[in-house]
Structure formats: C-alpha cells, structure tokens
C-alpha cells in the first residue's frame, strides 16, 4: 500500500516541481531571473507588459502628471506598429525592457525559436527606441529550455514580479486591492498597457487602478523607481 502511494505521489510531485521551474517567481532553473529589490528600501517599481498600445499615451500622460518613471516591457511587433508611442515612452525617461518580438508562448518550443523571439525583440527595441534593454520578461512569465542561452547572448536578466495585478480580467478595485495588499519594500508590480499583440486593447481598468494606487502608495511612504533603480540602487557615500 505504501509503495503504491509513493508511486502515485512521485509523478504529482514531479509535475508540481516542473510547474514551479517554468513559472515560479523564485525559480532559476531555465534562466536567471529576479522578482524583487531590497526589502529595506521603501521603493516599488511599476512595470507594464505587452505594449505599446493605442492606449499607452494615456498612461504616459498619467505617469507624467504624477512624476513617476516606470519600466515598460514592450513587444517588438507592437513597437513596429506604434513606433512613435514607443519612442515617446523612452524619451520621457521610462525604462524599456524586452518582452519578445511577438509575445509568443515559449513553452514546448525549440531553443532556436526561443532565441529568435528574444533576439528579435532586442533588435526591435534598439532599432526603433534607440535603447538596448538589459531586462527581459517572458510572456506569461514562463521560462523554457534555451532561454538562459538567449538571455546570455543578448545581455539580459529575467524579471518576474512581486505582485501580479491581473489587470487583464479584474476591475480597478480588484487590481488596486492586489497591488496595495502586496506592496512592500523592493516590490516589482506587474501591470499591462497592452493585451498581447492585439491592436487597440481596452486598458481602462488598468489606468483607473494606476490613478488610485500611486497616491495611495505615496501616502504609505513609498517612492517609485524603474527596475534598474530598484535592483541596482546607486550607492551613496
């Protein structure tokens, strides 16, 4: 009986381990990544995936009014569709990260496919935005064999998140609750200014949540930084 239980539990444990390996925020199995900065610094990083979109200018206006710099993990296909918006984000002082060329699912794909998605996104950011990203976020947060080599070749480090806003399905109140509930020193907050590579997505709830969250976090004493600032703080003497 005990033997049969062990044999039944082993595959389940293997599946659970593999699920953590590909998507766990602390996993380093398939590619180096980070998910938070130093806990003792009262700073958070707002990050936005899947852009740019036709609604990104509204987000840029909101961030400008609040004096907040964020990190945008852009998809190359969207950057090529909306190059002016992408360049506006970079010119405003926001940090540009790589979110692959096509927001393709990397799992169950070859190392060559993974490499081309990563390198394609890197080329697009350099050609259109005039910047070479140092940070990479995998679509859906899924890492896969071949990604470590691609990141190394491109000079990228993976970035997961401390808090996922789930803003693609929640209303502003729910997004706000998740972000405020998980905010802590060094937190990386993940939102979206696009929806994969779909043109003209509705990000109304995201915008409303950001409008609420920024002053609420400031009232708690937090400051806003880019991913580079929160992970590589400047040493003071």
Catalytic residue (one of 167, 192, 193, 202): 192
3-class SS of residue 109: coil
Residue 127's contacts (CB-CB under 8 Å, 6 or more residues apart) are none
23 φ/ψ angles, rounded to the nearest 5 degrees? -135, -5
Nearest to 98 by CA among 43, 31, 39: 31
Active site residue 192: yes
| DSSP state letters, 164-189 | E--TTTS-HHHHHHHHHHH--TTEEE
Taking phi first (over 0 means left), then psi (-120 to 50 degrees means alpha), and beta for anything else, what does residue 50 get? left
- Other Cβ atoms closer than 10 A to 223: 13
Q: Which of 49, 50, 167, 193 is catalytic?
A: 49
Cα separation, 37 vs 63, whole angstroms? 21
Q: What is the DSSP string of 206-237?
A: HHHHHHHHHHHHHHTT-EEE-HHHHHSPPP--
Query: Which residues are known to be catalytic?
Result: 49, 192
């Amino acid at each position: 009986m005990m033997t049969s239980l062990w044999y039944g539990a082993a595959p389940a444990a293997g599946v659970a381990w593999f699920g953590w390996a590909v998507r766990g925020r602390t996993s380093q199995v398939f590619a180096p990544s980070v998910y938070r900065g130093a806990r003792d610094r009262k700073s958070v990083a707002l990050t936005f995936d899947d852009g740019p979109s036709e609604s990104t200018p509204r987000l840029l206006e909101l961030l400008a009014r609040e004096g907040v710099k964020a990190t945008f993990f852009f998809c190359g296909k969207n950057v090529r569709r909306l190059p002016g918006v992408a360049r506006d984000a970079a010119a405003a002082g926001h940090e540009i990260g790589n979110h692959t060329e096509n927001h393709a699912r990397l799992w169950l794909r070859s190392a060559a496919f993974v490499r081309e998605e990563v390198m394609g996104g890197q080329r697009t950011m350099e050609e259109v935005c005039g910047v070479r990203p140092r940070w990479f976020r995998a679509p859906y947060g899924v890492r896969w064999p071949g990604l470590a080599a691609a990141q190394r070749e491109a000079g990228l480090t993976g970035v997961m998140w401390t808090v996922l806003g789930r803003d693609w399905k929640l209303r502003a109140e729910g997004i706000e609750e998740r972000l405020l509930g998980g905010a802590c020193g060094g937190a990386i907050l993940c939102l979206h200014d696009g929806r994969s590579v779909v043109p003209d997505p509705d990000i109304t709830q995201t915008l409303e949540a950001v409008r609420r969250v920024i002053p609420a976090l400031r009232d708690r004493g937090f400051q806003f930084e880019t991913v580079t600032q929160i992970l590589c703080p400047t040493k003071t003497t």
